[in-house]
């Protein structure tokens, strides 16, 4: 079967529908009407000669052949993206699409300065279609594994073989208490007080968050930092947050750091990428700007306790 340009467009629409769990999610992601998406799916089914999915009252569901087409399409979309990038490199110009995954709650980190990084990248690589995905470390690793993103910016985590982690930054995390919590008004908080309270932790970092409190009680798990902040602000839990994220709530007297620097944690940030895949010119430009921004903002002071690779899981 010869694939035309319209077939490839329809295939990309089909992939988006699968990855967003149906037509509604794809509508938002593609900025297309449902009728336009249906047109592409119907056109692809007619070209292939079989149904790709069932849609109706029971919702969206792939057929067996539809699942196979989706799985096979990974290599095609990856090859097309690689081809576009290679042509650009021959012309010494960054082109094609760059898909960067970034862990949540980084916008307030002025030392990371991702808005400045994006600004510089767009100035230097204006022809590149930059796509940014925000998610938890677990989600970002899954996205890399299915070739949904090219690389990820995340706290250091435990990885399966085949991935590279390059440390380039760190953020400081302190133990926080919400204004409604009984410890908020206490002047001299002890480790025993913390261990008598209930903590919220992140599944991918719970051992690290408990390193100063081996007898702490864990009462909730949060998959990302914003959820963790909500638990802490409720007044029922203590937990760690990045200092840059907590700053706005501290200014409003809604959060208080407990035990100051005594129990702070230094969390390394890394760039995660598949070892088998060569970085494109656009990816190299983005990461170069990222490292330059972090290096320019790096403070020169002693480093407290580090979250190690072993601690992360």
pLDDT in tens, 157-166: 877 788 899 9
Mean pLDDT, range 112-116, rounded to an integer: 95
Q: Does any domain span residue 282?
A: yes
| Per-residue CA distances from 248 to 180, 198, 229 (Å) | 17, 24, 12
Residue 291 has a CB neighbour count (10 Å cut-off) of 15
The predicted pLDDT at position 74 comes to: 78
pLDDT the model gives residue 309: 36
Residue 85: pLDDT band (50, 70, 90) is low
Q: Look at residue 175 in the predicted model and tell me its pLDDT.
A: 97
151 and 272 fall within a common domain? yes
Q: Note whether residue 306 is domain-resident.
A: no
| Alpha-carbon separation of residue 282 from 10, 89, 93, 97, 134 (angstroms) | 26, 9, 8, 8, 19
Half-sphere exposure of 232 (CA within 13 A, CB side): 30
Percent of the chain with pLDDT over 70: 91
State the alpha helices, DSSP H only, in 49-130.
Answer: 64-90, 114-124
User: How many distinct structural domains can be found in the chain?
Assistant: 3
The CATH number of residue 91's host domain is 3.40.190.10
Q: Residue 313 falls within a domain, yes or no?
A: no
> Of the candidates 27, 49, 76, which is a domain's last residue?
76
Residues 179 and 206 in one domain: yes
Helix, coil or strand: residue 38: helix
Residue 300: the pLDDT is 53
Per-residue pLDDT, 273: 92
Whether pTM > 0.75 for this model: the answer is no
Query: 3-class DSSP state for residue 218?
Result: strand
165 shares a domain with 273: yes
Task: State the Cα torsion 68-69-74-75 to the nearest 10°.
Answer: 100
Asked, for residue 309, whether it belongs to a domain, the answer is no
| Weakest-pLDDT range from 26-35, 111-120, 243-252 | 26-35
Residue 54 domain-assigned (yes or no) = yes
Output the pLDDT for position 206.
59
> Is residue 16 domain-shared with residue 135, that is, in the same domain?
no
> Residue 284 pLDDT more than 70?
yes
The pLDDT score that the predictor gives to residue 304 is: 46
CB 166 within 8 A of CB 270: yes
Q: State whether 165 and 176 are in the same domain.
A: no
Residue 10 and residue 24 in contact, taking contact as beta carbons nearer than 8 Å: no
Mean pLDDT of the chain: 87
Residue 133 to residue 119: CA distance in whole angstroms = 17
pLDDT confidence of residue 151: 94
Task: Say yes or no to pLDDT of 167 above 70.
Answer: yes
In this structure, are residues 52 and 45 in contact, taking their beta carbons and an 8 Å threshold? yes
Residue 158, both tokens:
């435990």
Where do the DSSP E strands lie in the chain?
Answer: 53-56, 59-62, 97-103, 129-135, 151-155, 163-178, 198-201, 217-221, 238-242, 255-257, 265-274
Residue 302 lies in a domain: no
Structural domain span for residue 236? 170-266
Which pLDDT score is estimated for 83? 75
Higher per-residue pLDDT: 271 or 89: 271
Is residue 26 situated within a structural domain?
A: yes
Do residues 143 and 181 both lie within one domain? Answer: no
Q: Report whether pLDDT(301) > 50.
A: no
Domain with residue 71: its CATH number is 1.10.10.10
Domain termination site, one of 29, 49, 76: 76
Annotate 111-137 with b (16+ C-beta within 10 A) or e (fewer): bbbbebbbebbeeebeebeeeeeebbb
pLDDT value of position 302 = 43
Is residue 276's pLDDT more than 70?
yes
Higher pLDDT: 305 or 182? It is 182
Q: What is the pLDDT of residue 285?
A: 94
Q: Pairing mode, if any, of strands 129-135 and 97-103?
A: parallel
Residues 6+ apart with CB under 8 A from 59: 22
Number of residues that make up the chain: 313
Q: What is the pLDDT of residue 279?
A: 87
The per-residue pLDDT for 86 is 74
Q: What pLDDT, in 10s, does the model give residues 210-269? A: 999 999 999 999 988 999 999 999 999 999 999 999 999 999 999 999 998 899 999 999
Q: Which residue has the tokens 């170069």?
A: 288
46/19 same-domain check: yes
Greater pLDDT, 305 or 214? 214
């Amino acid at each position: 079967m010869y694939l035309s340009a319209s077939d490839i467009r329809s295939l990309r629409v089909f992939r988006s529908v699968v990855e967003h769990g149906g037509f509604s999610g794809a509508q938002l992601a593609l900025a297309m009407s449902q009728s336009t998406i249906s047109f592409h799916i119907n056109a692809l089914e007619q070209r292939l000669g079989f149904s790709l999915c069932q849609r109706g009252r029971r919702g969206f569901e792939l057929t067996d052949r539809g699942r196979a087409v989706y799985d096979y399409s990974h290599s095609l979309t990856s090859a097309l993206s690689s081809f576009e990038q290679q042509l650009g490199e021959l012309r010494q110009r960054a082109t094609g699409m760059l898909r960067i995954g970034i862990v949540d709650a980084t916008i307030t980190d002025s030392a990371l300065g991702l808005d400045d990084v994006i600004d510089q990248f767009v100035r230097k690589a204006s022809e590149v279609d930059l796509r940014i995905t925000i998610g938890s470390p677990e989600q970002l690793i899954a996205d890399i594994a299915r070739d949904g993103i090219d690389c990820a910016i995340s706290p250091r985590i435990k990885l399966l073989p085949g991935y590279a982690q390059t440390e380039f930054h760190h953020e400081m995390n302190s133990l926080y208490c919400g204004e409604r919590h009984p410890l908020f008004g206490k002047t001299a908080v002890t480790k025993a007080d913390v261990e008598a309270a209930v903590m919220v932790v992140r599944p991918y970092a719970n051992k690290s968050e408990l390193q100063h409190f081996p007898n702490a009680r864990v009462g909730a798990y949060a998959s990302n930092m914003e959820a963790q902040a909500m638990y802490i602000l409720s007044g029922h839990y203590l937990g760690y947050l990045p200092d840059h994220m907590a700053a706005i709530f501290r200014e409003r007297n809604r959060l208080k750091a407990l035990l100051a620097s005594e129990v702070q944690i230094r969390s390394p940030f890394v760039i995660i990428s598949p070892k088998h895949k060569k970085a494109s010119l656009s990816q190299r430009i983005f990461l170069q700007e990222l490292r330059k921004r972090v290096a320019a903002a790096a403070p020169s002071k002693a480093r407290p306790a580090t979250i190690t690779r072993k601690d992360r899981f």
